[in-house]
Every structure is written in C-alpha cells, then in structure tokens.
C-alpha cells in the first residue's frame, strides 16, 4: 500500500481539477490529483470547444470575465498551443423579441466589462454574407472564440505534473473521510492524506458528496455533437442562436463542429453515444442560420458525460458539513471556458479562505429550500 | 405477427441467408449499399456493360451466376432495398440513407453480412494517384470493366493476390509483376492443411500455373516496397529476401495485405470483439451458429470471420437457420448438418491459409517517420510516435484525440489498425491493450440536407 501526504488532494482530472492542481502547486502547496481514468476524457474533452463569455448567466459574468483574461495567455501557462483562436462569437436573433433580448443582455454584460457589438439583420449580412438573410439581428463578442478540448485538459495535466503535482491517472477514489485533522482518501493500493480536499468529479461528484453527508440534485447531461467533412474556411465566427437550440463553429482545418440537443449516456457503464435522431433534427436548425452548411457530409459524432444541475449553474464553494472540503462541479455543459478561472478561484479558497471573484450564487446550500420543499411535500 | 428480420449486405452471405429465411416465409428485408446484388466478390457490371461474366469473374464465373440467379428467384419473397446505406444501429433500429433520403428500419432480428475490407499497410508512395488496394482493383474490373492502369503491379499477402492477378490477365491487362510479401516456404508448409478443401487447393494451384503460363514475373518474400512517381505512379522498387533491390516500370499498383471484417455495424449494435493473435486483428466474438454476443444480432460471411465467398454462402445459411431456431420455427436439419461438416473443413483450410500468408509485420517495422499514415487527416507515422513520447497515450483512442489519426472521412477504416501498431511499437504495450478505434455513427458520411 502506497502512502502519500499532501496539502491538497483533488478528485477529478477534468479542466477544473487540472487547472486547480496547477494553480495550487504554483502557489507553493503540494498537490495530488486523483483521476479514475485519463485526464480530460469526459466533459472537458468531449465538449464543442466554445470559449465563450456571451450568453452566460449574469452570476457567471465575473467568473467568465476572469477566465477570458487567462485564455489568451494559456499557451504560455501550458507551454504549448491548444488551438485557442479568438475568432469571435456571434449570437443570432431570429425575431424582434430575440433582438430585444440581445440588447437587454448587452446592457447587463457591459456592467461587467463585456462589450458586445449589436448589429441589425442587414449589417449582420454585410459583415457575414454567409449568415441567412432571415436573421433579424446579432450580437458579436470579439474576445470570444474556441479551442481544442481534446488538447487543453491533457496539456493542463502535463503542466501540473511538470510543476510537481502528483497526477495519478487510472486511480479511482473508493472512499474519502475527514478524520478531524486530515482527509484520508483511499484508492486501489494507495492512501492519500491531505489537509484539503477538492471535489471536482464532474458527473461523478455525487458519490463524493455522499461520503460527507451532503447531497445535490446532480443529474447526467449528454451533449450531442457531430462534425462535417473539412471544407474551405468560410465561417469566421463561432455561432449560437437565441433560444440555444443549436451551436456550431468551423475549425481552421475546415471541419464544422455542431452541437445541441440530447445524446445518450449511462453513468454506471461510463458509456455515451450520439443520438442519430437528435443529429438529424439539427440539420434544419443549422441550415436555417447558415444555408451554406446544406450538403456538407457528417463524418463523425460523439457524446460524453457531464454533470447537470436544475438551475444550469455550477456548485462552487465550501462544503457545509466538512471543514477544508471544497466543491467545484456541475458545470452543466458550459465549464470549458470557465475552467482556468475556477482553478484560480479554488486556489484562493484554499489558500486565503475566500475568492476574489464572487461565487456566492454557486453555493451548494441554494438547493436546500428545494430539498426541504420536496420533503415537506412528501410528508 | 411475423418477426421482422433485416439482413444487411447482399453478397454471398446475405443472399444465402435471405434464401433460407424467404423459404420459411419470413420475407426478410435486405438492405444493400450497392445498386445490384452480389456483394464485392460477385459484383455485377452496370447494365449495358459489354464484358460477360466469365471475363469478369474468371474461375468464379459459375458461382457468380448461381448467386445472382438465386437472388433473382427470390423475387417478392424478400423486401430488397438496393442503393441503401445503413449508417447507424441503435435500439433495434437501423438508420438508412437511400437516394439522399433518411429513413429508419426497425428489426426484431438483425443479420449482418457486411463483408470485408482490404488491410492496408502504408509504404513510400502509397498515397500517389495510381495506387489501389487489391479489392479496389478488382472492383474497377468487375463494376466498371476497366483496369486500374495500362501496366499494373500487384502486391499482396493473401489468396486474393493470385486471384486478382488471374482476373486481370483474363481481362487482357498487362501485369508487370505479382509480388507476394510472404515467403513461399510458408505455403509449402501449409499445403497439407489446404488439402482440407481439395477443390480450393486445386483452384489455387491453377491460378499459380496461369501466372506462369502468362509469363508474369512473380516473387515471394518481398521485404520492402516503394512506389515511385511525382504526380502519378511511374514505377515500383522492391527488395527481395537476399537484400537486392529490383525496379519495375508500371503506371498502377494494387497492394493490400489480407482482409479485415467490416464490423462497424456489428460494433454499433454492441457486438463484443476480441483480438485474434493468429491474424493480428480484432474480430467479432462469435457464438454457435453465427450468433453474436447480442441476442438479436447474427453475423455471417467475412464480417464475422474472414473465410472467403464459399464460406460466406455457408455461414449465411447457418446464421439464417439460427434465426429460425431462435424464433421457434421448424426446419429440416439435414442441410444444416452438411453445412457444419463443410465449415469444419473450411476452418482447417483457413488456418492453413493464415499460416501460408502470415501478416507481414516486417512492412510495419519498416515504416519511417515521414510516411503518411492517416491520409484523410494527413498524419504521419512520426507524428504518432512523437505524440506518444509527449503524452504517453495508453490507447489508440487517446492517440486519436491528440493527433486526429482516424478522424477523417474513412473514420479509421484504412489507418486505425496501423495506428494501433505504431502506438504498440512505440510504447511496448500489447495490441490488445492498445485497443481499437471506438465505433461511432455515421458508418459512412451522410449529407446534411433538409
């Protein structure tokens, strides 16, 4: 039985866990990262790769702003190119109500320093002739873009390792407990002792809540993604639409990555799959926005397992039952851009006891009322 | 209500399976990607083509005629849907594409007879225009009545090599050389086993004699191949067992190194697979009677295990009888008994053939860093090796995520196995541990249309 003693143990090698590991180690703490499989193999690796601030819930804006400042320097942080390209993110409106929604959102975003460029339908077409003539307006976030999710988190894990983090892949945590002064974390042939513990286990986080007498209404989310054959680069912006039914982007290589709607997945067997019916249903939605997509061939599809919460906001913050335990999970399919910032926030929570970025909205106790209501209803 | 049985593939396996099921009055659905029945081995020329069956199929003409006629006789007792791509399988239903239109075909029982595909090993010049697989060269001849070039060199590691050579000679093509990358001695040693099916041994011998009669330069134990040319094939260099290089002028090359099952559909249907050490490739796990590991799914022909066209006819029938048995439909067992006896002999033959044509790993060892391995995505052997050094990717799916190998149009059909070989060679892990590329739909590209 191997024994390891560190300041901080992190469960989960997604982008959140890996970014936190790197930030904590850089802050001078010793860190062990325990990942049941390979780093970045689930939600962090299979998402659509959007690095987007636009469209986020107002409570996420401070965090997304912080992340936006980190992405352009990420190749320096990680020591390699992870295909982050600040191409801009274009949100399309199909009706006057949607245009109004974009205008209202732009006002809120500006209060947080996110400046969105609002365009009429005509101007949108002039700027981006490949957008459908039926578009009523658009909102452009020039700082946004995309990156390659297959590369980012593994690069984070390598950077963490080279800084001295114990990155332990194929190391499933079987049990964890607070002894009164330390955490004791058990994995096959390994016991890790740590002063602090981070639960960054994504879709699997519920298991680790239960070790500490906590719960959250965490469910499974399976994004439905597919990609076309490569064609000449024409779509210069990442695309989303008000209502959010479909989103897509073209990579430099020429392929168009599309997503939206439910895939299929099973947490227990860790299997996931793209759903053909969802994919076929997305064709019309995407072509309605960008007619040139018509006739492109789909060559590949996939899904993956992500943690979801009822209000589509993550849980980030201290445990209510256990000292020195911090949660960061349930990113509801939009954690990729936030990852680098959450890493720093977790570092601050552990080192300083509080975060520079407001995270109160993401406390786990926000679901208590719901839980109590349910219990009262059942009683 | 009658059980809905769907057969995918109208080659020798699918056709014989349809015959048995139609005979029991079940009216199976037969979905096939080609426009006419016959599969790859008995692929028919388009209507109006001038060459007759014998020129196209050579020694196999009689069997081709029988198979085409057998399917023709079934008429309305099968629901035959040609020109239909099956691109996904989930929850007992198939997603199909026919003339640009999407459709869904549900099934109670699925009989997969999707055939085989050439095993490709990259060599210098393999992506030049004018280089084909042996299967591709055969299709050009049978489906279009054309040769792949004016002067053709053929390279292989399996019984398809002498067959394609003789078919090209019969059709009047100029065959510059027939190069077998496996040693001649292996065939001599395997001769005894090949006699398990005397007809087969006889046919093999007559093919070799034909090559001799036509005076085609033939070599065995070819150690290295290099196709030359700037924008098109202009020649071929090869090294013999003694280390001497030879040069041939030619304008087309067909090269492939045995066959692998087309098992993407079986994979999507959830059928288990295993790594077969003898042939060094992944195969579907088979239960008795052509049953797969999934209760409603049956496998027949080369997609179940490489056996060739004669075996495909037999395993097609056998899988169909298994369907009948599992549905509780009675049938006369005499034929099935005969099939099992013949198949047992063919199993011995197949073992001998696998020994006679061992998978040429020396060609894998010879792959240099500059060689393109994944032509869809332009990934070189060196990039794969370097990615392992940097990332320690433990399996081929992880390697794919980092390098794009197998992410293109062919979805790793051509390069997946070789990517696994390169990774195993670099990491020292075994091929079973390195794994194979996970199956995802669409099996072949589908258009995004409304």
The string of pLDDT tens digits covering residues A255-288 is 999 999 999 999 999 999 999 999 999 999 999 9
Does the distance separating the beta carbons of A284 and B407 come in below 8 Å? no
CATH: 3.30.565.10, 3.40.50.1100, 3.30.9.10, 2.60.120.10. Which one for A85-145+220-303? 3.30.9.10
Q: Looking at the complex, does the CB of residue A127 fall below 8 Å from at least one CB of chain B?
A: no
d(CA B434, CA B420): 6
Q: Which domain holds residue B248?
A: 120-257
In chain A, residues under CATH classification 3.30.9.10 are 85-145+220-303
Structural contact between residues B186 and B203, judged by C-beta atoms closer than 8 angstroms: no
Give B-chain residues touching A154 at CB under 8 angstroms: 391, 401-402
The pLDDT of residue A370 is above 70 = no
| Residue B348 placed within a domain | no
Contacts of B286 (CB under 8 A, 6+ apart): B292, B299, B304, B305
Do residues B213 and B302 share a domain?
Answer: no
Q: Which residues pair with B86 in a beta bridge?
A: B96
Could you say which residues from 230 to 259 on chain A have a Cβ atom under 8 Å away from some Cβ of chain B?
253
Give A-chain residues touching B398 at CB under 8 angstroms: 38, 41
Q: What is the mean pLDDT of residues A317-345?
A: 97
Q: How far is B436 from chain A (nearest CA, A)?
A: 16
Does the distance separating the beta carbons of A301 and B442 come in below 8 Å? yes
The pLDDT of residue A379 is above 60 = no
d(CA A275, CA A301): 9
Do residues B163 and B149 share a domain?
Answer: yes
| Residue B345 placed within a domain | no
pLDDT, tens digit only, all 450 positions of chain B: 678 999 999 999 999 999 999 999 999 999 999 999 999 988 888 877 777 766 777 778 899 999 999 999 999 999 999 999 999 999 999 999 999 999 999 999 999 999 999 999 999 999 999 999 999 999 998 888 889 999 999 999 999 999 999 989 988 899 999 999 999 999 999 989 999 999 888 988 899 899 999 999 999 999 999 999 999 999 999 999 999 999 999 999 999 999 999 999 999 999 999 999 999 999 999 999 999 999 999 999 999 999 999 999 999 999 999 999 999 999 988 899 999 999 999 999 999 999 999 999 999 999 999 999 999 999 999 999 999 999 999 999 999 999 999 999 999 999 999 999 999 999 999 999 999 999 999 999 999 998
Do residues B251 and B153 share a domain?
Answer: yes
Specify the pLDDT at position A37. 97
Nearest to B450 among A287, A300, A302 (CB): A287
| Residue B31 placed within a domain | yes
Does the distance separating the beta carbons of A299 and B442 come in below 8 Å? yes
Give A-chain residues touching B447 at CB under 8 angstroms: 295-298
Q: What are A155-167's pLDDT values in tens digits?
A: 999 999 999 999 9
Structural contact between residues A184 and A177, judged by C-beta atoms closer than 8 angstroms: yes
Structural contact between residues B175 and B215, judged by C-beta atoms closer than 8 angstroms: no
Nearest to A276 among B95, B445, B450 (CB): B95
| Residue B359 placed within a domain | no
Specify the pLDDT at position A84. 97
Q: What are A174-208's pLDDT values in tens digits?
A: 999 999 999 999 999 999 999 999 999 999 999 99
Q: Looking at the complex, does the CB of residue B95 fall below 8 Å from at least one CB of chain A?
A: yes
Does the distance separating the beta carbons of A297 and B446 come in below 8 Å? yes
| Residue A377 pLDDT class (50, 70, 90 cuts) | very low
Give A-chain residues touching B379 at CB under 8 angstroms: none
Strands A89-93 and B151-156, sheet pairing: unpaired
For residue B379, what is the DSSP state? E
Do residues B136 and B234 share a domain?
Answer: yes
Mean of all residue pLDDT scores within chain A: 96
- Which alpha helices (H) appear in B226-268, and where do they start and end? 264-268
Q: Which of A276, A283, A297 to mutate to test the interface with B (most CBs of B within 10 A)?
A: A276
Residue B178 tokens read as 């027939």
d(CA B21, CA A242): 52
Structural contact between residues B181 and B363, judged by C-beta atoms closer than 8 angstroms: yes
Chain A residue nearest residue B378, CA to CA: A253
Structural contact between residues A174 and A167, judged by C-beta atoms closer than 8 angstroms: no
The number of folded domains in chain B is 3
Phi, psi for A275 (deg, rounded to 5): -100, 125
| Residue B304 placed within a domain | yes
Q: Where does a domain end: B257, B292, B313? A: B257
Q: Looking at the complex, does the CB of residue A274 fall below 8 Å from at least one CB of chain B?
A: yes
Q: Which helix (H) or strand (E) holds B317?
A: helix B309-326
What is the ipTM, given to two decimal places?
0.94
Give ∠ CA A252-A38-B437 in degrees, rounded to 5. Answer: 65
Do residues B51 and B171 share a domain?
Answer: no
In chain A, residues under CATH classification 3.50.50.60 are 2-46+150-219+309-378
What is A2-46+150-219+309-378's CATH topology?
A: FAD/NAD(P)-binding domain (3.50.50)
Q: What are A31-56's pLDDT values in tens digits?
A: 999 999 999 999 999 999 999 999 99
| Residue B317 placed within a domain | yes
Q: How far is B398 from chain A (nearest CA, A)?
A: 8
Nearest to A45 among B390, B401, B440 (CB): B401
Specify the pLDDT at position B348. 94
Specify the pLDDT at position B38. 94
Q: Which of B86, B89, B448 to mutate to test the interface with A (most CBs of A within 10 A)?
A: B448
Does the distance separating the beta carbons of A302 and B409 come in below 8 Å? no
d(CA A71, CA A157): 16
Q: How far is A346 from chain B (nearest CA, A)?
A: 26
């Amino acid at each position: 039985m191997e024994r390891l003693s560190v300041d901080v143990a992190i469960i989960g090698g997604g982008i959140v866990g890996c970014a936190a590991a790197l930030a904590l180690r850089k802050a001078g703490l010793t860190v062990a990262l325990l990942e049941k499989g390979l780093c970045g193999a689930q939600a962090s690796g299979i998402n659509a790769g959007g690095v987007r601030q636009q469209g986020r819930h107002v409570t996420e804006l401070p965090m997304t702003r912080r992340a936006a400042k980190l992405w352009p320097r990420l190749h320096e942080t990680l020591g390699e190119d992870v295909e982050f390209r600040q191409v801009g993110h274009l949100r399309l409106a199909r009706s006057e109500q949607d245009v109004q929604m974009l205008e209202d959102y732009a006002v809120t975003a500006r209060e947080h320093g996110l400046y969105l460029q609002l365009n009429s339908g005509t101007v949108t077409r002039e700027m981006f002739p490949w957008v459908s003539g039926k578009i009523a307006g658009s909102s452009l976030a020039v700082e946004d873009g995309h990156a390659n999710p297959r590369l980012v988190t593994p690069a984070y894990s390598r950077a963490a390792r080279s800084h001295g983090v114990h990155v332990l892949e194929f190391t499933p945590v079987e049990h964890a407990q607070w002894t009164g002064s330390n955490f004791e974390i058990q994995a096959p042939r390994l016991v890790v002792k740590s002063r602090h513990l981070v639960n960054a286990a994504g879709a699997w986080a519920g298991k680790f809540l239960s070790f500490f007498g906590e719960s959250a209404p965490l469910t499974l989310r399976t994004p439905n993604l597919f990609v076309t054959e490569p064609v000449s680069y024409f779509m210069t912006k990442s695309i989303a639409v008000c209502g959010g039914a479909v989103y897509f982007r073209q990579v430099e290589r020429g392929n168009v990555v599309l997503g939206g709607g439910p895939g299929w997945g099973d947490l227990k067997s860790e299997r996931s799959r793209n759903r053909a019916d969802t994919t076929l249903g997305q064709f019309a939605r995407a072509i309605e926005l960008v007619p040139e997509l018509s006739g492109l061939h789909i060559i590949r599809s996939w899904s993956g397992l992500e943690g979801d919460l009822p209000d589509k906001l993550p849980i980030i913050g201290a445990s209510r039952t256990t000292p020195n335990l911090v949660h960061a999970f349930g990113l509801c399919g939009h954690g990729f851009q936030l990852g680098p910032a959450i890493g720093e926030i977790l570092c601050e929570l552990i080192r300083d006891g509080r975060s520079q970025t407001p995270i109160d909205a993401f406390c786990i106790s926000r679901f208590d009322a719901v839980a109590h209501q349910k219990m009262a209803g059942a009683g | 209500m009658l059980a809905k049985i769907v057969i995918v593939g109208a080659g020798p396996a699918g056709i014989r399976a349809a015959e048995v099921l139609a005979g029991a009055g079940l009216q199976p659905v037969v979905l096939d990607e080609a426009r006419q029945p016959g599969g790859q081995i008995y692929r028919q020329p388009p209507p109006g083509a001038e060459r007759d069956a014998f020129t196209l199929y050579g020694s196999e003409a009689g069997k081709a005629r029988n198979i085409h006629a057998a399917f023709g006789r079934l008429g309305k007792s099968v629901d035959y849907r040609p020109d239909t791509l099956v691109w996904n399988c989930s929850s007992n239903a198939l997603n199909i594409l026919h003339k640009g239109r999407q459709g869904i075909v549900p099934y109670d029982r699925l009989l997969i007879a999707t055939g085989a595909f050439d095993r490709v090993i990259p060599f210098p010049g393999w992506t030049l225009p004018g280089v084909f697989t042996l299967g591709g060269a055969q299709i050009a001849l049978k489906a279009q009545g054309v040769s792949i070039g004016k002067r053709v060199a053929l390279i292989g590691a399996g019984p398809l090599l002498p067959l394609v050579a003789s078919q090209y000679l019969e059709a009047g093509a100029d065959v510059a050389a027939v190069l077998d990358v496996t040693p001649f001695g292996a065939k001599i040693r395997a001769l005894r086993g090949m006699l398990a099916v005397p007809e087969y041994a006889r046919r093999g011998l007559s093919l070799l004699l034909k090559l001799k009669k036509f005076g085609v330069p033939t070599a065995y134990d070819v150690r290295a191949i290099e196709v030359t040319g700037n924008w098109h094939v202009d020649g071929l260099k090869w090294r013999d067992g003694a280390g001497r290089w030879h040069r041939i002028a030619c304008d087309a090359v067909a090269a492939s190194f045995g066959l692998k099952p087309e098992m993407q559909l079986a994979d999507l249907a959830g059928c288990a697979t295993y790594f077969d050490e003898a042939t060094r490739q992944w195969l579907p796990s088979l239960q008795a009677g052509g049953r797969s590991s999934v209760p409603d799914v049956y496998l027949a022909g080369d997609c179940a295990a490489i056996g060739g066209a004669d075996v495909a006819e037999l395993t097609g029938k056998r899988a169909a009888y298994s369907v009948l048995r599992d549905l509780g439909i009675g049938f006369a067992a005499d034929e099935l008994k005969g099939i099992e006896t013949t198949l047992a002999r063919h199993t011995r033959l197949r073992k001998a053939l696998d020994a006679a044509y061992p998978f040429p790993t020396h060609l894998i060892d010879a792959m240099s860093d500059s060689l393109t391995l994944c032509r869809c995505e332009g990934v070189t052997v060196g990039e794969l090796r370097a990615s392992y050094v940097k990332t320690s990717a433990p399996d081929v799916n992880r390697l794919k995520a980092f390098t794009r190998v197998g992410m293109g149009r062919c979805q790793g059909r051509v390069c997946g196995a070789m990517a696994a070989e390169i990774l195993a060679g670099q990491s020292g892990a075994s091929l079973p541990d390195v794994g194979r590329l996970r199956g995802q739909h669409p099996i072949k590209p589908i258009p995004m249309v409304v």
